[in-house]
């Protein structure tokens, strides 16, 4: 059994905003502008895939260019 702390696969808007050093309001604006990876929506919840956000940050936070990737 691993002694590492398990991290969730899906993270909240607050978690993503903290990772980016922005407010949650700015996070939603960036999403509306197509500048964030597409979140996963289920029920009344919106979450992002942690690994996808990390990869996006590692690539320098490029805008999402495919309109199909917009929410």
Q: For the chain, give me the number of helices (H) and strands (E)?
A: 3, 3
Q: Where are the domains of the chain?
A: 10-65
Residue 11, judged by CB atoms within 10 A of its CB (0-12, 13-18, 19+), counts as buried
The CATH number assigned to the domain with range 10-65 reads 1.10.1660
pLDDT of 67 > 90? The answer is no
Burial class (CB in 10 A: 0-12, 13-18, 19+), 60: exposed
| pLDDT band for position 2 (cuts 50, 70, 90) | low
pLDDT in tens, 6-50: 888 999 999 999 999 999 999 999 999 999 999 999 999 999 999
pLDDT of residue 6: 83
Its pTM stands at 0.79
Residues 38, 64: contact at Cβ < 8 Å?
yes
């Amino acid at each position: 059994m691993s002694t590492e702390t398990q991290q969730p696969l899906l993270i909240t808007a607050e978690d993503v905003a903290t990772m980016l050093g922005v407010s949650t309001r700015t996070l939603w604006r960036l999403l509306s502008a197509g500048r964030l990876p597409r979140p996963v929506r289920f029920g009344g919840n919106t979450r992002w895939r942690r690994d996808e956000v990390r990869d996006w940050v590692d690539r320098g936070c490029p805008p999402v260019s495919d309109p199909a990737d917009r929410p």
